[in-house]
Amino acid sequence: MESLPRPVAEARSVSELVAQAKHGKLRIPPFQRRFRWQAEDIEQLFDSIRRGYPIGSLLIWERAADAGHVEFGPLQIEAPAMEDAWWVVDGQQRLTSIVGVLASPPDCSAEFDLYYDLSTAEFKRPGPRRRPSSDWIPLRRVVDTNEFVSWLIEFRENGASSDQVQAATELGNQLRDYRVPVSLVRAATESELRIIFDRMNTYGKRLTKAEVFQSLHAATNGSEPADLRSLVEDVGNLGFGSPQEDTVLRALLAIRSNGDPYRDFRGEFAKGEDPAAAFATALDALRRVVAFLQYDAGIPHVRVLPYAYVIPVLARLLTLHHDPTQRNRILLRRWLWRGAVAGGSGGSGAAPVLRRAVQAIDEDESATVQRLLRLAPALPTPSLDLRSHQLNRAAGRLNIALLNRLQPLNLRDGKPVDVAALLDEGELLRIPSRSGRFDSIASVFLHPALRDDEIADTFAAASADILASHGVNGPLERDAGLDLGQLVTLRERSLSTLLPARLDTLTEPQANDRPAIAELLALAKAQP
């Protein structure tokens, strides 16, 4: 590859960069990662600008751009087409922070709602218990000179001293006039820019593997999904929630080969090969994975999937075998739940388990399923940790998935709870035990949250069938006012029997795991 033309070194003021963003000249390439900085990162960046510290240079690619929607944090504009747009190759996190704060609307999200406290010389944000005081400078009013002068007049009229007005004026000048080094590349191809992006990690948080893949591989023929990010978004629209980008990346790699789904993917696609077909195949497979998990395995949502490694495994299997036999679907359900009970990886980490499972899959459907079952043998007496109830622990996700097997009904109208929608959008109902704490899965209900003052009355009015759908079996003292501590205690006793029984029907530890009789007969007939 020929050397790139030497970049042109320039310096642009913060006010110039904000103006360019507002007029649509600045663009974010599709291979860029999402905005990942936290509020503290943004505060440190502005503190560096205030003090005159270097914040690193921007790498800009000048090329044509179509008209389109552009976002820099809370700033959203419809940018016009132009021949000399500036595409941000390196520096997106810094530039989004600068533009997002200085050009934010009044109702922007908290991380971009930044002020400067003149009394303490600190950058601050308002919150539920902290409102901006009269000597807090709203940074959204600093970059436009006329807007800032109007604020200074208001500031003086509200009793600010001459020293305070002078300090505010100096801060405005410091922020507006700070000059950011810019390296401008004009004569480069997109493939060359992708290589540059892959090699640069000069500021902020390290790229994840999924973000690196996103930067290197995207479809160029206008098809959808066009890249890893849009593939993740399409999967998220299937009513199962959005899996992690890394999980979808491993699924795509597993589909393309039964080798190592953790392999180096920089040369994944041959020269001239458009990744579009791979993304389309992956989306088709992941649709079947979601259908299997929800309807065959009884997992309503990705948030309660005990171990995410099953998604790439099933994606590989369902790419080769679009519609497994009913017998093999039952066996795959056993494999999934047995692995969940055994701890997924058996303590060795997800990568080795995923590699072994992917390598067990080939064109023989029944043989594949048998090999997977051998990787997750049934435990004679599978047990549950009923104390676990948090979604950030595999044991808690397992317990909540089992609650779904009770087919919970709405406490008010008796209609089935849409558990997938609840996990996607809502807050689960949680009731503390007698100790005042959330001690076990008995405190968690697959039901929309209720106000504290309506919980007791709602349960007291519910029928026995509705209560049973939440694992509440037995007499409740309702006349003198329902005791919620008693409710949780009663439910804890019921769930200690109900959940292991549901688990037993899913893992089927005593069942014979042989293939369908018809397949065995066919195999015997084929023997010499």
Residue 431, domain member (yes or no): yes
pLDDT tens digits, residue range 341-371? 987 544 445 788 899 999 999 999 999 999 9
169 & 306 share domain:
no
Q: Which domain holds residue 342?
A: 208-375
Residue 92, domain member (yes or no): yes
Number of domains present in the structure of the chain? 3
- What is the C-alpha separation between 499 and 473, in angstroms, rounded? 13
462 & 323 share domain:
no
For 172-186, 386-400, 448-462, 474-488, which range has the lowest pLDDT when averaged over its residues?
474-488
351 & 449 share domain:
no
Half-sphere CA count of 238, side-chain side, radius 13 A? 24
Whether 229 has a pLDDT exceeding 90, the answer reads no
417 & 332 share domain:
no
- Mean pLDDT over 256-273 rounds to 84
311 & 369 share domain:
yes
- What is the C-alpha separation between 517 and 366, in angstroms, rounded? 12
Residue 203, domain member (yes or no): no
Sequence letter at residue 165: V
| 34 three-state secondary structure | coil
pLDDT at 349: 56
Cα–Cα separations (whole angstroms), residue 168 to 131, 237, 476? 19, 47, 65
pLDDT tens digits, residue range 15-70? 999 999 999 999 887 656 677 788 888 999 999 999 888 888 888 888 888 898 88
- Mean pLDDT over 157-166 rounds to 90
Task: Choose one of 162, 193, 224: the last residue of a domain.
Answer: 193
Residue 381, domain member (yes or no): no
Average pLDDT of every residue of the chain: 86
Alpha helices in 323-431 (DSSP H): 326-341, 350-359, 365-375, 394-404, 419-425
Residue 78, domain member (yes or no): yes
Whether 451 has a pLDDT exceeding 50, the answer reads yes
Q: Decide which of 483 and 300 is more confident.
A: 300
Per residue in 390-403, is it b (16+ CB within 10 Å) or e — as a string? eeeebbbbbbbbbb
317 & 348 share domain:
yes
- Closest residue by Cα to residue 13 from 85, 102, 111, 83: 102
Residue 368, domain member (yes or no): yes
pLDDT tens digits, residue range 432-447? 998 888 989 999 999 9
